[in-house]
Structure 1
Amino acid sequence: MADPWTQAIAAMFEAMRKPLGGAPTRPYDPLALFQTISDATLTAFSDPQQLFAVQAEAAREWGRFWSNVWTLPTEKPRDRRFAAPEWQEDPWYRAIRDAYLLASAQMRRLAAGVGGSGPDKAMIAFLLDGWLNAVSPTNFAMTNPQVVYRTLETGGANLLAGFANLVEDVASGKGIVKRRTDPNAFVKGETIAATPGQVVWQNDLCQLIQYTPTTPDVAAEPLLYVPPLVNRFYMIDLQPKSSLVKWLVDQGRTVFVISWVNPTEAHRDKGVEDYVLSGIVEAAGVMRERTGKAPDLFAFCLGGTLTAIALAYLAAKGRADEVNSATLIGSMVDFADMRDWSAFVHEAHLTALEGHLERQGFIDSVELQQLFAAMRANDLIWSSVVNHYLLDKPAPPSDLLYWFEDGARIPAAFLKSYNRELLLNNALAEPAGFAVGGEAIDLAKITTPVLSIALKDDHVSAWEAVYGGARMMNADFVLGGSGHNAGVINPPAANKHGYWTNDATPVTGAEWLQGAERHDGSWWPWWTGWLDRHGSGERVPARTITGGIEPAPGSYAKAQ
């Protein structure tokens, strides 16, 4: 392994060899950001009396802070950035931590009092959080005790090697902290996405994979997984110990999955309708032909939104019996409450994005990953900054992060329609607000049994918003623990997270949770019980795969 000086010099030469270039278009409007900040600042200073009250309260809080700064608090903040014991036990670092947290709370309180539209308030909160996350004392060598000790231990070699890592990442053209996990730790089809199966059908949008049975008989109704477009399907087929696909197969289920193509410029005109009809509806038809049974669909995030549209389309066509049931996981259909994400559903940003899409025909996977990382900056950006640029720690292997970084593009036509009609106009919340294949989409007319599963700490699809959508579709509802991705990958053997159930359907999610019963462990067995209750109860001999095109996970999942 090269010494830090050699590594740094090599990285700088590589960066000079590949100079950075500015993109001709951006997927957002920088001027709108500045305008939002300017308007918020003017609003904050337009009411001197309120501003004085805020300043007076801040002065009182700082007075209490300095009076107690050397007193050991009884509780430490629940913030993973300050997990090292020095942040609690050393008075110097504890004072730095508490001062930062107090100032952050005061600034967030001030920003919350600024008026403006929902998207503008969300954008101010997003920008403020981004800045506060960036200036955390954990991100600087002189104010992070772990970095200080590491620097003394290595004589500064960690900082030099970390600088080389930074230069290398910037030169890659993918932005900073591209190495959240070891990119060579897994091989698709061998150590990840490795459950045995075959691609049995494909078109220009997707491949359909059927998995090899492991039990002598199986439930009559087959399962079809509909993934989102942002990442590859195999979040549900990571390592064998955490693979939902393997677990379902071992439970005696016939499992199929849709693997979306990674779009190129040639797919620029593929819209929501194409993915619903040529993807979900057509794949379900192939499954019925192969198994003789209407499938149970299950879907995640955006895949669940598309599945709900497909169910409404089939109901409008009088073909609801083509699907036996549907389970939507972390999926929104009512976008009235998008929380932080509403910051990007803004006229100026949508217009800028549409110009960007028109130029290249799709949004790139790196741009999508950067957006998702920005929404969870402490976990997906700043922790990597500390580990790779300050501590010079190697990126640990993580199957979930490997999957996260294996992103996919989204066609221009799809994203334009999705952003304008579904997000901005919330068309699915209105009867006949959206149309597919000439049919008005009315979610209230879905007759297929639907289960909606939300995740309690979901940062993408707030669980209360998912609950509101479930009521719109008259769906059953269960709440799982943990977040958007980790809450789905919850094998029973791990006995983690827990879940909540409640047969009542009050108006708000808060009321639902108040009356809900908490259960330990994974929601997976509860879900298969729900499938049993909505199935025929029939068992059939395990279905041997015939007419395979290529082994799972298929060429679409492997294509870059």
Structure 2
Amino acid sequence: MRKNNVHAIAKQPARGELKTAARAKLSSAANAHAEHPYAGLDQALRGAVARMTGGVSPFALVETWTDWALHLARAPGRQLELAEHARNNTLKLAEFAAKSLPETARKAPFSPKVYDHRFADPGWQGLPFSLWQQAFLATQDWWDHATDDMRGLRKQDSDRTRFLVRQLLDTVSPSNFPWLNPEILAETARTGGRNLAEGMVHATDDWLHTLSQAHTPPPEGYKIGKDIACTPGQVVYRNDIFELLQYTPQTSKVQAEPVLIVPAWIMKYYILDLSPHNSLINYLVGQGFTVFAISWCNPTADQRELSLEDYRKRGVMAALDAITAIVPGRKIHANGYCLGGTMLAIAAATMARDGDDRLASVTLMAAQVDFSEAGELLLFLDESQVAFLEDMMWTQGYLDRPQMARAFASIRAEDLIYTRAVQRYFLGKDDLPTDIGVWNTDTTRMPARMHSEYLRGLFLENRLSAGRFAVEGRVIALKDIAAPMFVVGTETDHIAPWKSVYKTRLFTDTDLTFVLTKSGHNGGILSEPGHPNRHYRIGHRAQGALYVDPDSWFAQTEPTDGSWWPAWTEWLSANCSGKVAPPSIGTPERGYSPLDAAPGRYIHQT
């Protein structure tokens, strides 16, 4: 039986005591192999360097370039091949230029990548802009070829080199320079230079905001709790890590088994509760489900010692305990998004090991349980990089919002950095407010210890799928999960690539439905009914069936037009025991009284 004081936030130690103890623990964990009297001095110096470089290890960069250059230097055949490729690209450019002079119809030999929209303006088709564009794309094509795999070269280093070259080339794209970009020149002529003046205002505002790191309030029409994150409900539990939201029923009868949403701790939960029309939570409630959602806190330096185990035990498990008290005698459909799905998989495997059968099903959305193919975020994750981040977090207590935002933006710098910069600073266009744009700027921090643990244990050492991830001193296994699973991947996800998400089928034996939906990490999940130009593929793996590799599965699974949400709710309903009267909001007699209206307090932490 819960006591009434369960809602009280755990009392924290004094700030100075906690900071001293935390730094000692993190220093010990990060440098167990290098204990010496001046270890703290080394960490402080490396932490200062890390803050100047945005957390990117210069040692990892030097190692990457050195490995690639030395392998190329000892491969004269590859050098000849690259020379021929350069010659061929030069000839293609010369032929294109010659045919362009009389302005005759000609086919461009090089095309931008499908996600690169920098050259979409029709002005790039005319002279001299088409020549500049083609010269840039030819250079990009040569470097793509030069950074292909080489015999003896670590694949991680070839991928790293390609990524670094792409970042460098993006800085010198002709689209970035006003005198080379036809769209900027045309807009400047049309407005008499007003676009450049307005762009200067935008640049000044962004520079001041970067210096101050002040939280930007949402624009008119996008107020949190009123316009977005506005599905009605109550906070029914709160501790120092999370708030548990229970949403008000919208139907006279509901499915007997409730649903728990576990978002990633690197984001505010309301990516799943944006505007009413594209809110996954609102859709679930409207379909007759009792929905609970976790809203994580935005940790401060005083919470640097929060661990992965804290997020599992005092987060996911505490939420399950609360739901069990509010809806007694019912199993729970648990749904985890991104790293929240990884945490849910850990919790589900631990529950299976310990004989806890409260889960009716497990849904993982764009969530990985194996990190050997974790996309471009994994490129620079080695011992040097992780140690560098640990040193930076040792000095500040968390991974800060801008540091993480830059990492995600660099994956698609063409659109997220340079295209946006051109629009704001040279075309004078302000960012159009959107619900997902407001959420995207409402970034969070991550406590130092927890971030270090998941970088090492999950990304770097891949312990979960390797059978080396221990909870409470005992190893867990994903194959122990007996609850049916629904796993969602997205086609163009660069954070959790769909083939990596698909590997959940490889490490589990239970009944599993896999869905591959159009778009990326967020857009593919926010695929509400009525969203134009959407499709998905869906396939079922019966318990104990043989494994089918992702390419074969893709080839034999036809796409279905529309949203995958109805298919998921049908699957959830099929795993429910029937409809009943809605449960009460909270249960005061068991210690879970309603505390605040949704979306609660933690969502407003900056």
Normalising by structure 2, report the TM-score.
Answer: 0.84
For the Cα contact (< 8 Å) 1:428–1:434, is it kept in 2? Answer: yes
**Residue 436 of structure 1 aligns with which residue?**
471
**SS of residue matched to 1:296:** strand
Q: CA deviation at 1:157?
A: 3.1
Partner deviation per Cα, 1:338-364 (whole Å, 9 max, x = no partner):
232222211111111111111111111
Separation in 2 of the partners of 1:116 and 1:351? 23
**SS of residue matched to 1:68:** helix
Separation in 1 of the partners of 2:218 and 2:298? 23
**Residue 25 of structure 2 aligns with which residue?**
none
**Residue 62 of structure 1 aligns with which residue?**
90
1:464 aligns with 2:504: no
Which residue of 574, 582, 590 maps to 1:533? 574
Which residue of 69, 72, 79 maps to 2:106? 72
Q: Aligned AA for 2:79? A: L
**Residue 12 of structure 1 aligns with which residue?**
none
**Residue 230 of structure 2 aligns with which residue?**
194
**Residue 31 of structure 1 aligns with which residue?**
59
1:552 aligns with 2:598: yes
For the Cα contact (< 8 Å) 1:201–1:208, is it kept in 2? Answer: yes
**SS of residue matched to 1:502:** strand
Q: What is the aligned length?
A: 533
Query: Equivalences for 1:254-269 in 2 at 5 Å?
Result: 254-269=290-305
Q: CA deviation at 1:49?
A: 3.0
Separation in 2 of the partners of 1:64 and 1:381? 30
For the Cα contact (< 8 Å) 1:121–1:343, is it kept in 2? Answer: no
1:543 aligns with 2:580: no
Q: Aligned AA for 2:299? A: P
Partner deviation per Cα, 1:445-483 (whole Å, 9 max, x = no partner):
111211111011111011011111232123321111110
Partner deviation per Cα, 1:4-53 (whole Å, 9 max, x = no partner):
xxxxxxxxxxxxxxxxxx95543231232133223323332332332122
For the Cα contact (< 8 Å) 1:299–1:329, is it kept in 2? Answer: yes
For the Cα contact (< 8 Å) 2:262–2:293, is it kept in 1? Answer: yes
Partner deviation per Cα, 1:88-136 (whole Å, 9 max, x = no partner):
3x24222222222121011111011455334323321221111122222
For the Cα contact (< 8 Å) 1:28–1:350, is it kept in 2? Answer: no
Q: CA deviation at 1:248?
A: 1.0
**Residue 11 of structure 1 aligns with which residue?**
none
Query: Equivalences for 1:306-385 in 2 at 5 Å?
Result: 306-319=343-356, 321-385=357-421
1:163 aligns with 2:204: no
Separation in 2 of the partners of 1:521 and 1:221? 27
Query: Equivalences for 1:389-408 in 2 at 5 Å?
Result: 389-408=425-444
Identity %: 34
Greater shift after overlay, 94-103 or 518-527? 94-103
**SS of residue matched to 1:493:** coil
Separation in 1 of the partners of 2:250 and 2:500? 38
Greater shift after overlay, 43-52 or 138-147? 43-52
- Indicate the RMSD between aligned Cα atoms, in angstroms: 2.1
**1:161–1:339: structure 2 CA closer, same or farther, 3 Å change rule?**
same
Partner deviation per Cα, 1:166-218 (whole Å, 9 max, x = no partner):
23322323699x99x97555211011111111101111110000111111111
**SS of residue matched to 2:198:** helix
**SS of residue matched to 2:236:** strand
Partner deviation per Cα, 1:281-335 (whole Å, 9 max, x = no partner):
110111111012121011111000000000011011111x111111000001111
**Residue 484 of structure 1 aligns with which residue?**
521
1:109 aligns with 2:155: no
**1:556–1:506: structure 2 CA closer, same or farther, 3 Å change rule?**
same
Q: Which runs of 5+ in 1 are unaligned?
A: 1-21
Separation in 1 of the partners of 2:153 and 2:76? 18
**Residue 141 of structure 1 aligns with which residue?**
178
**1:406–1:354: structure 2 CA closer, same or farther, 3 Å change rule?**
same
Partner deviation per Cα, 1:148-171 (whole Å, 9 max, x = no partner):
011122332322332342233223
Q: CA deviation at 1:74?
A: 8.0
**SS of residue matched to 1:194:** coil
For the Cα contact (< 8 Å) 2:129–2:182, is it kept in 1? Answer: yes
Q: Aligned AA for 1:442? A: A
Q: Aligned AA for 2:574? A: R
Query: Equivalences for 1:291-302 in 2 at 5 Å?
Result: 291-292=327-328, 293-302=330-339
Separation in 2 of the partners of 1:50 and 1:260? 51
Separation in 1 of the partners of 2:461 and 2:475? 15
For the Cα contact (< 8 Å) 1:316–1:440, is it kept in 2? Answer: no
Separation in 2 of the partners of 1:367 and 1:341? 13
Q: CA deviation at 1:258?
A: 0.2
**SS of residue matched to 2:428:** coil
For the Cα contact (< 8 Å) 1:224–1:257, is it kept in 2? Answer: yes
**1:375–1:325: structure 2 CA closer, same or farther, 3 Å change rule?**
same
Separation in 2 of the partners of 1:338 and 1:399? 27
Q: Which runs of 5+ in 2 are unaligned?
A: 1-46, 587-592
**Residue 451 of structure 1 aligns with which residue?**
486
For the Cα contact (< 8 Å) 2:516–2:537, is it kept in 1? Answer: yes
Separation in 2 of the partners of 1:408 and 1:510? 36
Greater shift after overlay, 358-367 or 466-475? 466-475
Separation in 1 of the partners of 2:401 and 2:129? 39
Separation in 2 of the partners of 1:118 and 1:552? 47
Q: Aligned AA for 1:465? A: S
Partner deviation per Cα, 1:410-450 (whole Å, 9 max, x = no partner):
1111111111111111101122x011223321111111211
